[in-house]
Structure 1
Amino acid sequence: MALSPAWLDELKSRITLSALIQRSVKLQRAGREWKACCPFHSENTPSFYVNDQKGFYHCFGCQQHGGAIDWMMEQHGLPFMDAVKELASEAGMDVPAPDPRAARQAEQRATLHDVMKAAQEWFVAQLAAPGGADARAYLERRGLDEHTIRRFGFGWAPDDRQALKTALSDFDERLLIEAGLLIEVEEKLPYSRFRGRVMLPIQDARERVIAFGGRILQDRDGVAKYLNSPDTPLFDKGRTLYNLHRAAAASRKSGRVIVAEGYMDVIALAAAGLEDAVAPMGTALTEQQIELLWRMVDKPVLCFDGDKAGTRAAMRAAERALPLLRPGHSLQVVQLPAGLDPDDLLGRDGRKGMDKLLEAPKSLLDLVWEHEREASPLASPEDKAGLKARLMEHVDTIQHPDIKSLYRRELLDRYGSFAYPPRDFARKEPFQKRAFFRRDGPQPTPPHVTKRLREASSGAFRDMLTAAVLGGLARHPAEIHRHSDNLLALAKSDAQLARAVDFLLESSEDLEDRGNSPIFANDVLPPAPDNTRFSFLMEGSDPEEAREDLAEAVALLVERPALEAAIVAATRRFDTDPEGAFAEQQRLRKRKLEIDTRLGQMTRKRAASQAFENEIADAAEHSVAEQETD
């Protein structure tokens, strides 16, 4: 009976492996995994680990490895189908009825594995034969020793169109074509796909050869440097990672996976002791390959060449990953120095040089920001607006709402700092003489600004958060344009508030340039409740903390009306979908409560800080008074 991979994956997803194994083995929690003394061999200290997230067990002592089906077969002595039926019964799944066509396909796959194994053995033999002398010399020039050549299964495909077919004559010609070893052309004899190339086997997670990659000995115009097998019943290049079967075991020890551009990069890294490296099959990293990587580690490290092609490859991977991002899962990026690939860097700086780069990867967000900032000149306002548009296009592809919101906020903050840099007030003579003026701190609001804000907003200030945000922007005018998108969105929801927003956007430069405006230490902010203690409204606040709190307050202010509208919409659906509407309403109300709680934390934090400062001041005064009395 042939069971589809999709059905088997569904079965495995319904089984908690640790619960299955704990029926006969005492497991102990070890971080995100479970550990025990290995049930397959005698030992005194635990080397047997179970990982529910990845769905496998592994012993670092005897190398036993497998999943739920393997466990039932090994520990309970069940045949494959009996193990599957036992697990399916527990998971509440029906085993599919026999499918003759699927059975024939499974039989064909088994036969193709035999073909690929025979081809690999023949390629290896040809490398060792006299005809493989040039190939052996090439591998020696690449710095590959005998151990590496044997370990990775290097071979040689002679420059002969019929040699492989003759060597594998025991197999039907149709199988050789189906395996991608022969090319079929109308009215011509099928001929070898790989000719005059150093050969590398591509293996699946069970170490079976499923495809080949070949490299020519000397680069020639019009001839592809690297050539991979086509997609076959065994090989899907978009779902395969080179060296996955070796890197998976190594990554469990290192907690890391390195993604290089090509398989020669992987081999160079492995030869230097970096065993946890994989590579895509000559194409951009696909969504399926990203998911494979996330099964091993939460944040794989992309290690691409330090040239334009390497940068493009990193960005293509980023564009594939952004829609898939989920909490805790992302990509990291290491870009090598210009003109170097991993082999070059290892040859120049050794293992230490590579380790140093791998220890400080940049985030996916950093990659997007730096790439788009450097993508084209930014000499005009139109150029800068184009940068913002490109950044937001990336953000719009992110599916997870919280991650999308955080990316938007962070990229807009970076864009605001870049597009609207603070003015250099030190160059202006009047300000050089004012030692009390702190450019990076909150500034008292001039009376004429307070008056204009009152006139522009009228009733809008009745809300504490709205009043606090507008007052905070007036005190931190350099932040106004950074939050312009959110302010304009907010203005659309409130006609009265729109006048205040327009005034802030139009007057931001006047607010920054206060050379002609008197500054009063006891100036009055836009009217907010007396108990408002947001850091961005208080004298003596830490500038960075004030800016961060102001950015969060703006975001919460924008989110709140949208949240309230969504609650109203959910309430209206009660008649048609009471259960769904109730669940949605509860989720929205929970988020609203989180916003209120966060606002309370922001004000209480500042209040506590102020109280602590007051206590210190009182203690100091008391100490001075006692000394004077003495």
Structure 2
Amino acid sequence: MSLSPAFLDELRMRTTLSSVIGKHTKLQKAGREWKACCPFHKEKTPSFTVNDEKGFYHCFGCGAHGDAIRFLTETRGLPFIDAVKELADGAGMQVPAPDPRMRERQEKSASLRDVMEAAATWYIDQLKSPAGAETRAYLEQRGISAETQQAFGLGYAPDARGKLEDALKEFGRDKLVEAGLIAVPEETGRSPYDRFRSRLMFPIRDQRGRVIAFSGRIIGDGKPKYLNSPDTPLFDKGRTIYNFDRASPAARDTKRIIVVEGQMDVIALDQAGFKEAVAPLGTALTEHQLAMLWRIDEAPILCFDGDSAGQKAAMRAVERAMPAVQPERSLAFVHLPPGQDPDDIIRSGGTGDLRKQFADPLSLDTFMWHYESGQIDARSPTARAKLKRRLNELAGAIGDPAMREEFGREFRDRFWDTFGWKKKEVDFVRDALAATGARNALQGLDLYIRAILLGLSRYPAVVQSRADQIQSLHIGEGLLSRWRDLLVTAAFERPDLDEDMIETILADAELESAEKRHSWRDLGFSFFYRKTDPDIAVRDLEAAIDTIARSQELDENLEHVRANLEQAADSEDFEGVWNRESERRKRLMEEKQRLHDELELLGEAAA
């Protein structure tokens, strides 16, 4: 049934969310909101909030989020339309009559689901038959118990071109083709045939546990090793995660979700007690799959194979994730021995080791550093330069400004700790870099802000001509902020302000040592040198101010992009919004890098 956005908005507006949730969960008033222990995961301290004004609930523990419709579909397993009808009855609203075209599509999907369920049952029966003996032996050899086989609905597709079609003939060939169970050759004159033959069959289910597709592993020789259903009206490979329906409730209990490469890894982990394991379907994680995972766990654990291909797959997932990474959306990693997957480790008695690694996985920045630094010959200065550039690119791809800054700082620290000065020299330089009166060394943008303040202290006329722009710079609290405010105030109170008067003012404010330039600590801007032509010095000082102001403006724009990317997960046009905002982020980052390069050139011009 097709329901207009206007109808759904009216339904949400007429529905008091707390009254809906209060029928299932005990709520306590907390200011303008309600709070409770989350109904989606086990907890003792309430982290679940309900906001009637905004019409949504949110759990700060497991990330569950949604409106009244979603609450009914998630907690009671109601189909979307049934949840709408129940809420409409309570709100005294009439659900619009069904759109004939939408009804036809729904009936079509319903009939395809009947086909898929029938096929799943038939594959299970074939596994139990004499024809499935080799596959049963394979599962026994892999240590998969009968209980686990039943839980996952494992089956067998016999080595025959038309047995499935014969078994499901009541549905008709067209339905079997549309469901992806029968393949039609492109060559004319050749008959359709069963897509899956001589394969161990894994049913793929949607979030409500309904079979929508299959993945088949070859038994014996043959390629491909794994074969998935094609995209159908029920199945979109990039929007589906294997075992997500069973793993989601377990993940809310364990407060983590584990992503492995294949179905056998999921099954082996599940049988070993790790019920929260899922897998993509033979490809790198997509943006949509990442969004699904982040709704369950803010840092899903990627446990890919320890070989080169497995680590490359993990890195591809990282690159896909970077634009959306933020403090509440990251990734974690378990590093397996080369050539081994989770199933290998479990069968060799390594369950305890896996449990320890899952309890303390590698952080995203640590994995990225280990992977990228492991790709180079550390003895080569060219390779080290490439590593530095690559790390800068990865950090720059992060949409969230705070995360981008912190990852950049972390990579710089790791680089210098590994390839740079010896520790004794590092400690000396770090101590020397500490700004007078400040606890920590100035880093990144603060160094340029300090440079501008030094220039303004030498050329106070620029303070008067650029006062609004200087006052609007984001400096924060502390010494630099006090220094800036004194300069701006002094420039307006004393029109004849000169360099000597500024030194006196700073001394009275106990900031006199802050404006002393250190030749090896501060950048080499032209406006630091008395020999520089004043016109050139003022020109470069104003250019530096313009560049910093524009860079901060870009940071604000990038924050808007990050927010849009975060909201894209719930958008009907997810891919369109993601692609558009990702392209916008790329352009902004390119301009920011260009501004950074220009600022560095200004800082080196007179050095």
TM-score range normalised by the length of the shorter chain: 0.5 to 0.7
Give, in angstroms, the shift of residue 328 of structure 1.
1.9
The corresponding residue for 1:52 is 58
The corresponding residue for 1:406 is 406
Alpha-carbon contact 1:88-1:95 (below 8 Å) kept: no
Q: Distance in 2 between matches of 1:406 and 1:89?
A: 52
More displaced, 382-391 or 190-199?
Answer: 382-391
Q: Distance in 2 between matches of 1:127 and 1:241?
A: 24
The corresponding residue for 2:139 is 139
The corresponding residue for 2:21 is 21
The corresponding residue for 1:245 is 245
Alpha-carbon contact 2:15-2:87 (below 8 Å) kept: no
| Greater relative contact order structure (CA < 8 Å, 6+ sep) | 2
1:83 to 64, 86, 99: 86
The corresponding residue for 1:121 is 121
CA 23–195 in structure 1, closer or farther in 2 if over 3 Å, else same: closer
Task: Give the secondary structure class of the aligned counterpart of 2:169.
Answer: coil
Alpha-carbon contact 2:436-2:513 (below 8 Å) kept: no
Give, in angstroms, the shift of residue 208 of structure 1.
0.6
Q: Deviation string for 1:323-355 (max 9, x for gaps)?
A: 111232211011111221111111223421211
Instruction: Tell me if 1:201 matches 2:203.
Output: yes
Q: Distance in 2 between matches of 1:184 and 1:313?
A: 32
The corresponding residue for 1:372 is 372
The corresponding residue for 2:417 is 417
Letter in 1 for 2:407: Y
Q: Distance in 1 between matches of 2:6 and 2:246?
A: 24
Letter in 2 for 1:201: P
Q: Distance in 2 between matches of 1:67 and 1:175?
A: 31
The corresponding residue for 1:440 is 427
Give, in angstroms, the shift of residue 534 of structure 1.
11
CA 371–55 in structure 1, closer or farther in 2 if over 3 Å, else same: closer
Q: Distance in 1 between matches of 2:271 and 2:9?
A: 34
Task: Give the secondary structure class of the aligned counterpart of 2:212.
Answer: strand
Letter in 1 for 2:258: I
The corresponding residue for 1:390 is 390
Alpha-carbon contact 1:69-1:84 (below 8 Å) kept: no
Give, in angstroms, the shift of residue 7 of structure 1.
9.7
Give, in angstroms, the shift of residue 393 of structure 1.
1.3
Q: Distance in 2 between matches of 1:206 and 1:5?
A: 24
Q: Deviation string for 1:94-123 (max 9, x for gaps)?
A: 977743222211111000000000000100
Q: Distance in 2 between matches of 1:374 and 1:406?
A: 22
More displaced, 342-351 or 148-157?
Answer: 342-351
TM-score of the pair, normalised by structure 2: 0.65
Task: Give the secondary structure class of the aligned counterpart of 1:273.
Answer: coil
Alpha-carbon contact 2:126-2:158 (below 8 Å) kept: yes
Alpha-carbon contact 2:26-2:36 (below 8 Å) kept: no
Alpha-carbon contact 1:73-1:80 (below 8 Å) kept: no
Alpha-carbon contact 2:239-2:289 (below 8 Å) kept: yes
Task: Give the secondary structure class of the aligned counterpart of 1:367.
Answer: helix
CA 489–236 in structure 1, closer or farther in 2 if over 3 Å, else same: farther
Q: Distance in 2 between matches of 1:46 and 1:382?
A: 53
Q: Distance in 1 between matches of 2:6 and 2:200?
A: 35
Give, in angstroms, the shift of residue 381 of structure 1.
2.7
The corresponding residue for 1:515 is none
Give, in angstroms, the shift of residue 205 of structure 1.
1.3
Alpha-carbon contact 1:391-1:411 (below 8 Å) kept: yes
Which residues of 2 match residues 90-239 of structure 1 at below 5 A? 98-185=98-185, 186-220=188-222, 223-239=223-239
The corresponding residue for 1:255 is 255
> Which runs of no fewer than 5 residues in structure 1 stay unpaired?
39-44, 58-64, 425-437, 446-466, 499-526, 538-546, 548-557, 570-630
The corresponding residue for 2:534 is none
Letter in 1 for 2:99: D
CA 377–568 in structure 1, closer or farther in 2 if over 3 Å, else same: closer
Q: Distance in 1 between matches of 2:260 and 2:75?
A: 36
The corresponding residue for 1:614 is none
Alpha-carbon contact 1:132-1:156 (below 8 Å) kept: yes
CA 406–70 in structure 1, closer or farther in 2 if over 3 Å, else same: closer
Q: Distance in 2 between matches of 1:444 and 1:563?
A: 26
CA 534–341 in structure 1, closer or farther in 2 if over 3 Å, else same: farther
Give, in angstroms, the shift of residue 415 of structure 1.
2.1
Q: Distance in 1 between matches of 2:13 and 2:421?
A: 51
Give, in angstroms, the shift of residue 219 of structure 1.
4.2
Task: Give the secondary structure class of the aligned counterpart of 1:131.
Answer: helix
Q: Distance in 1 between matches of 2:420 and 2:409?
A: 16
Alpha-carbon contact 2:25-2:36 (below 8 Å) kept: no
CA 226–493 in structure 1, closer or farther in 2 if over 3 Å, else same: farther
Give, in angstroms, the shift of residue 33 of structure 1.
7.2
Q: Deviation string for 1:236-275 (max 9, x for gaps)?
A: 1111111111111111211111111111100000010110
The corresponding residue for 1:333 is 333
Across the aligned residues of Structure 1 and Structure 2, the Cα RMSD in angstroms comes to 4.8
Alpha-carbon contact 2:64-2:295 (below 8 Å) kept: no
Give, in angstroms, the shift of residue 320 of structure 1.
1.0
Give, in angstroms, the shift of residue 158 of structure 1.
0.6
Q: Distance in 2 between matches of 1:102 and 1:195?
A: 35
Alpha-carbon contact 1:17-1:52 (below 8 Å) kept: no
Alpha-carbon contact 2:69-2:83 (below 8 Å) kept: no
Q: Deviation string for 1:287-311 (max 9, x for gaps)?
A: 1111111111111111111110111
Letter in 1 for 2:341: D
Q: Deviation string for 1:51-98 (max 9, x for gaps)?
A: 7345589xxxxxxx99434599999xx9555335468999xxx97774
Q: Deviation string for 1:407-458 (max 9, x for gaps)?
A: 222212222333422287xxxxxxxxxxxxx97346998xxxxxxxxxxxxx
Alpha-carbon contact 1:18-1:34 (below 8 Å) kept: no
Task: Give the secondary structure class of the aligned counterpart of 1:233.
Answer: coil
TM-score of the pair, normalised by structure 1: 0.63
Task: Give the secondary structure class of the aligned counterpart of 1:386.
Answer: helix
